[in-house]
Amino acid sequence: MQPSEVLVENNYIGTTPGGGGAEPNQRGIIVRGFNNRIRNNLISNNLQNAIELDDSLATGNIVEYNTIGLPPLCVFGPCESNGNGLHGVLIQDGAARNTVRNNDIAYNGGDGIAVVAAADNPFYANAIYGNSGEGIDLGDDGFTANNNDSSITLPVQAGNENINSPVLGTAGGGAASGTIAGSYSSRNGWYRLDFYAADSCPSLIAADAGQGRYRLTSTTVQITNAGGGTDGSVSFSAVPISRANAPTFFDQPRYVLATATRYQGTSPSGPLSGTSEFSKCSLYQRSAALFANGFE
Ligand SMILES: [Ca+2]
Ligand SMILES: [Ca+2]
Ligand SMILES: [Ca+2]
């Protein structure tokens, strides 16, 4: 019998009691039951994965507000020496409909979040950066290119059914807010697109995606033109992007990236299903002169 409907909160796992030193475990937290809430824990320095959600009984769990791979306060640094040895969060072997949100996941030796042979797991509003692998890796096989999501033949090791990532176009605007354009291709249905920013991004020069450190705003799109086993697509433009409480956020060079998350039902109000990997990045174009006088 695996623990279910349990709250695991306010623990230091892999650290000394004060949080500043390392006392690593092999793995941090392993969840094999359902409807547990893993909340506000510090999980750093462990030798393998910080959090694992394993097997088909692991459903409906919520992983939120945890600090994974960092010291309790990243003031006296170096913060990157506190990462866990493998993934921040690993979801595998049939674990489904688990939500990972509002966590800081950084400097881990594997991916920020890896999903292997498991589906319908949503992730949003996390700060993911500095991990040695991908920010989000579906299949734990590196960057997964977009393909035809309407194909019924899924890769054996797929995570979240290898749902496609958004394709971003031009992003730009003022210091506090701007807009972004792009497109999204997948099966018919409603999708939530979450936008993030990063300070750097490898995808402009390599077949790789960045990691979303700073949560920006989100939007909703619908695909209606899929059919005959072929994906449909939807374009978007002038979608507002900003970061809460950061009026000069885009005065520094920022790369914008995005994830797509499918809604389970037939409207954009129901529960969320699986989330994609991060998209490739778009460098935010700061239009200082245009916006300086307020007449844009
Ligand atoms: Ca992948
Ligand atoms: Ca990986
Ligand atoms: Ca795909």
Question: What pLDDT sits at residue 19?
Answer: 84
Ligand number nearest to the C-alpha of 153: 3
CA distance 71 to 176: 30
The list of the chain residues with pLDDT below 70 reads 1, 76-77, 152-156, 203-208, 288-296
C-alpha 180 – ligand 1 centre gap (Å): 25
CA of 141 to the centre of ligand 1 (A): 5
Q: Give the list of residues 6+ apart from residue 88 with CB closer than 8 angstroms, or none.
A: 49, 50, 51, 68, 69, 103, 105, 106, 108, 110, 111, 112, 113, 128, 131
Ligand with smallest separation from the Cα of 143: 1
In the reported structure, the alpha carbon of residue 4 is separated from the centroid of ligand 1 by a whole-number distance in angstroms of: 29
177 CA → ligand 2 middle, Å: 33
CATH fold of 164-296 reads Immunoglobulin-like (2.60.40)
Task: Output the CA 53–ligand 1 centroid distance in Å.
Answer: 18
Q: Give the environment of ion ligand 3: residues with CB less than 5 A.
A: 147, 149, 162, 164
Ligand with minimal distance to 158 CA: 1
Q: How far is the CA of 292 from the centre of ligand 3 (A)?
A: 41
Residue 49 C-alpha to ligand 1 middle, in angstroms? 17
Ion ligand 1, residues whose Cβ is below 5 A away: 137-139, 141, 144
Q: What confidence tens digit (pLDDT) does each residue in 95-113 have?
A: 999 999 999 999 999 999 9
Ligand nearest to the CA of 111: 2
Q: How far is the CA of 118 from the centre of ligand 2 (A)?
A: 15
User: Nearest ligand, CA of residue 140?
Assistant: 2
Which ligand has the nearest atom to the CA of 146?
3
pLDDT of the residue at 30: 97
